[in-house]
Amino acid sequence: MTGLDRRLAVAPMLDWTDRHCRYFLRLLTRHTLLYTEMVTAGAVLHGDRERLLAHDPAEHPLALQLGGSDPGELARCARVAADFGYDEVNLNVGCPSDRVQSGRFGACLMAEPDLVADCVAAMRAAADLPVTVKTRIGIDDRDSYEALTDFVGRVAGGGCEVFVVHARKAWLSGLSPKENREIPPLRHDVVYRLKRDFPGLTIILNGGLTALDQIADSLRRVDGVMIGRAAYENPYLLAEVDQRFFGSSAPPPSRHQVVRAFLPYVEMQLQGGTPLHCMTRHVLGLFRGIPGGRAWRRHLSERAHRRGASAEVLEAALQRVPETA
């Protein structure tokens, strides 16, 4: 078993959990495990690696999520991930989009557990990194508990010790990825049962968790919890997790402190040519439900995308929210 603390993680989310988002989230929580967006094996091997994989040292602990199904290619990707300093490699066996299926990876791989096991084994042999799998509880009509345990058992045979389980099945046709996150019913009970039946594995629950009390309750039944949209849309949710779940004695940062801590990073990225809106889009929800929160969001939304927009836009937006917020 690895040394990473997996009690809480923020999910890999396409177009959301880029490096700027992760740096911002790290200002709210030092201990939560963060994940990249999914990166395909082909992109890692043939694309602009620096653009795709570069990250700030402050983002650790940090996992790279890969999409692919060729053991040899994924092994090479695992070596690249190690070279870039990632703390974990995660294989996506949960995304149901058409684009993913056409590449023979994502949720459709639940129908090929032996291939997934081979991929895991190849990655483990190639790099000294934890190799984990993010999956669903089932796909299409292959959604019995027996099918899930068969999948987990076979993949564990390839050396996977950590399974992140999105507690919904996926329909590979007929539903969009967004609908697949909302329409199939949540079955936390299935994930809890999986932990009881595989006590030697690390089982992480993903799906539908939006509050710290929910997380605490789930942690009595599984080894860890992964949250997604709730952490992105209401990021200040993470401000107290270090104290509540990781034993930190440091006081939670205020929202204003978080923004001020983000400013030097924003300045540095602006000097490197990153447009302001690429960073500020991730902080729009920081003052959600707080007096002045709408003015904060409106100011950033209207001004951050303008040519030449500077960090002053962020500072001016902050002045629209009372210091006590």
For residue 22, with 0-12 CB atoms within 10 Å meaning exposed, 13-18 middle and 19 or more buried, which class applies?
buried
Contact 73, 109 (CB under 8 A): no
Q: Return d(Cα 126, Cα 78) in angstroms, integer.
A: 7
Radius of gyration of the chain (CA): 20
Q: What count of Cα atoms within 13 Å lies in the side-chain half-sphere of residue 319?
A: 6
Contact 18, 44 (CB under 8 A): no
CA distances from 61 to 55, 56, 58, 113, 265 (A): 11, 11, 8, 28, 18
- Measured from the Cβ of residue 218, the count of other Cβ atoms closer than 10 Å reads 19
**Active site annotation includes 95:** yes
Q: Return d(Cα 128, Cα 86) in angstroms, integer.
A: 11
CA distances from 313 to 33, 131, 277 (A): 30, 41, 10
Per DSSP bridges, beta strands 162-166 and 131-136 are parallel
Under 8 Å CB-to-CB from 74, ≥6 apart: which residues?
Answer: 41, 66, 68, 91, 119, 122, 123
Under 8 Å CB-to-CB from 179, ≥6 apart: which residues?
Answer: none
- The SS3 call for residue 148 is helix
Active-site annotation holder among 21, 77, 95, 119: 95
Q: Return d(Cα 194, Cα 185) in angstroms, integer.
A: 17
Residues that are catalytic: 95
